[in-house]
Structure 1
Amino acid sequence: MSGEQRDTGAEPDFEARVRELLAGDASTIRPSPVPYPEIRRRGVLERRRRLAVSGAALAALAAVPVGAYAMGGSTTTGPAGPSPSVHTSARPTPAPTPSVTPSGPARPMSAHQLLDGITFEQAADGLGRCLDNNKANRPANDPAHLDLGDPAGYRIILAMKSTGDSNTPGDGYFVVAVREKPTPVRLICTIKDGEASGLNTSAGNPYGDSKQPVVPDMNSGKLYQQSFIDKGNWKLPFRWGIIGGYRGSVARMTASYGGSTGEVVLDHGWFVATGTLHRQVTKAPHLKGYDATGKLVYDSDQDTSYEKTLP
């Protein structure tokens, strides 16, 4: 009985001891509190690292020349997502321009040589009509007949209105053209009602045997005269012109007719003087030539070969 009492008395002590040991072990094995500040700090550092990588990648994309995308035409993918492709539409290769053989005459040096609303196309057409008419009426087997060739060999130096008179009624227009090869030729072509009605030609250089620095064309009187039959009763206002050759020593020319000053163009060895006449006249146009210093080197009043008085 006494033994049982010891056992019973020891039991509480044993249980108390076990509880004490379990309580101590539980305290020992209890996990440490979670280090929230440390975790937050590492998370911030990790996000900063990722942002830095993304920024570097975007900077690298911005540094790529735009031309690289245009040339490649591919899609570029970066950390921020896919970038749109840049496409360039291929331009068609232009077809080579065919070489065109000129079939018409050359243009004059100045627009002031195409007068009275006559276009270059109209002047070229008129020249072609005169040359065709000349070929159609060329005497057969005539060795003395000069082959005037085709329009492509000529350069137009003047186109202006022609005024009809009692001798040749009906208005039209003149076309003056020159060529250098194979034989120098000067043409004064008259067009009326769309047809060639007259052709005046001269061959050789524009100076002939003259040593003068300016040589008026002796046949260009038809450009500044109406019929001598109507002398004193010309139709006014009257478009006039005069042409001829000039040498390299001449830098400038003047022309006057009936008290009015005309305009002169120097065109590759040919002078072209034009104006409008407003009164009846008895004297031919007055011409003067000057060198580069302004010195007078030619005066038609002093030229013995120049017809100063109208017939």
Structure 2
Amino acid sequence: MAGAALASLVAVPAGAYSLVGGEGGQGTHTAAAKPSDGAPRTSSATTSGPTRPATEGQLLDGITFAQASDGLGKCLTAERGAPSAPLGEAKDYRIVLAAKSTGGSVPGDNFHVVGVREHPAGMRVVCDIEDGVASGFSTGTSADDSPDAGPVVPDLNAGGLFQPSATDKGSWKLPFRWAVVGTVEPSVAEVSVSYGDATRQAVLDHGWFVASGVLDRQVTAAPHIKGYDSSGKLLYDSDQDKGWARMLP
């Protein structure tokens, strides 16, 4: 299967939800203009913290960079005892997404942060913060070196970012904040993600793509992902990817 060899993410949906940016679940939308994949790396606010995302639009629902950094640090500290997962320090990571956890039955002021390790590169973590405490945690490594990897590699095991947990299947709490992440090769100039009735243009952030939106109804079809080169030629279609399920479980 194409994709990242990742541990399962335990989704931690939240009852509290604050919608920022006026995103809706209907129609076709375009995210903020994506930066060049080779854009200069921005420095983090402190020498001990992670690097900022390429765009402010990757910090959603009113979550600040300071909150996202604090949450990532808490998760890394809580999980650092696992010898099989040398996680490193927060300063080794770039935050590519922070968003409210919504759509399920767990109450509280909860959000998740997606960080990608840069020193060395390749590791991805999804970190859930529940009322200020590190909760669900997922780690994995990029599958870019796999012989089956294509120019776009969606994160197969980060389904908790775009659907509620299994216990809330069929009873989504709406509106539902969703996100899709994965890696891209340098040949990819644009990635679009269609989910529900909306299509989003993903941000490309130093070899990773990040797309997000809001659903106002339950859906059964999984996100549909496409990747294009600078001339508009289709390089990747998730409908042709045997490792990416077209329907939600």
Please tell me the TM-score bracket, short chain as reference: 0.7 to 0.9
Size of the aligned set, in residue pairs, is 205
One-letter amino acid matched to 2:95: I
Tell me which protein shows more helix as a share of its residues: 1
**Which structure is richer in relative contact order (CA contacts within 8 A, separation 6 or more)?**
2
Output one character per residue of 1:128-148: Cα deviation in whole Å (capped at 9) or x when no partner.
Answer: 00011113xx25xx5xx2221
CA distance in 2, matches of 1:101, 1:119: 14
Verify the 8 A CA contact 2:103 2:172 in the aligned structure 1. Answer: no
1:150 is the counterpart of 2:95: no
Output one character per residue of 1:80-120: Cα deviation in whole Å (capped at 9) or x when no partner.
Answer: xxxxxxxxxxxxxxxxxxxx981100011011110000010
CA distance in 2, matches of 1:189, 1:298: 28
One-letter amino acid matched to 1:156: I
Give the TM-score, by structure 2 length.
0.77
Larger radius of gyration: 1
Which of these residues, 164, 167, 171, is aligned with residue 233 of structure 1?
171
Verify the 8 A CA contact 1:163 1:171 in the aligned structure 2. Answer: no
CA distance in 2, matches of 1:244, 1:182: 17
1:160 alignment counterpart: 99
Determine what percentage of the aligned residue pairs are the same residue: 55
One-letter amino acid matched to 2:99: M
Give the TM-score, by structure 1 length.
0.62
Verify the 8 A CA contact 2:93 2:119 in the aligned structure 1. Answer: no
Q: 1:132 to 1:211 in 2, by over 3 A?
A: closer
2:4 alignment counterpart: none
In the TM superposition, 1:263-274 aligns within 5 A as: 263-274=201-212
Output one character per residue of 1:188-246: Cα deviation in whole Å (capped at 9) or x when no partner.
Answer: 00001101011100024556443311110011101001023333321111000010011
Q: Give SS of 1:248's match.
A: coil
In the TM superposition, 1:10-29 aligns within 5 A as: none
Q: 1:205 to 1:179 in 2, by over 3 A?
A: farther
1:108 alignment counterpart: 53
2:64 alignment counterpart: 119
**Unpaired runs of 5+ in structure 1?**
1-99
CA distance in 2, matches of 1:175, 1:235: 20
Verify the 8 A CA contact 1:164 1:171 in the aligned structure 2. Answer: no
**RMSD over aligned Cα atoms:** 1.9
Q: Give SS of 2:239's match.
A: helix
Q: 1:292 to 1:235 in 2, by over 3 A?
A: same
Verify the 8 A CA contact 1:160 1:175 in the aligned structure 2. Answer: yes
In the TM superposition, 1:241-260 aligns within 5 A as: 241-260=179-198
**Unpaired runs of 5+ in structure 2?**
1-44
Verify the 8 A CA contact 2:142 2:183 in the aligned structure 1. Answer: no
In the TM superposition, 1:9-48 aligns within 5 A as: none
Verify the 8 A CA contact 2:190 2:201 in the aligned structure 1. Answer: no
CA distance in 2, matches of 1:209, 1:191: 35
CA distance in 2, matches of 1:204, 1:255: 20
One-letter amino acid matched to 1:298: Y
Which of these residues, 62, 73, 77, is aligned with residue 132 of structure 1?
77
2:3 alignment counterpart: none
CA distance in 2, matches of 1:110, 1:206: 24
1:195 is the counterpart of 2:195: no
1:32 alignment counterpart: none
CA distance in 2, matches of 1:258, 1:101: 39
In the TM superposition, 1:161-176 aligns within 5 A as: 161-163=100-102, 165-166=104-105, 168-176=106-114
One-letter amino acid matched to 1:266: L
Q: How many angstroms does 1:303 deviate by?
A: 1.1
Q: How many angstroms does 1:173 deviate by?
A: 0.5
CA distance in 1, matches of 2:122, 2:149: 18
Q: How many angstroms does 1:295 deviate by?
A: 1.1
In the TM superposition, 1:94-105 aligns within 5 A as: 102-105=47-50
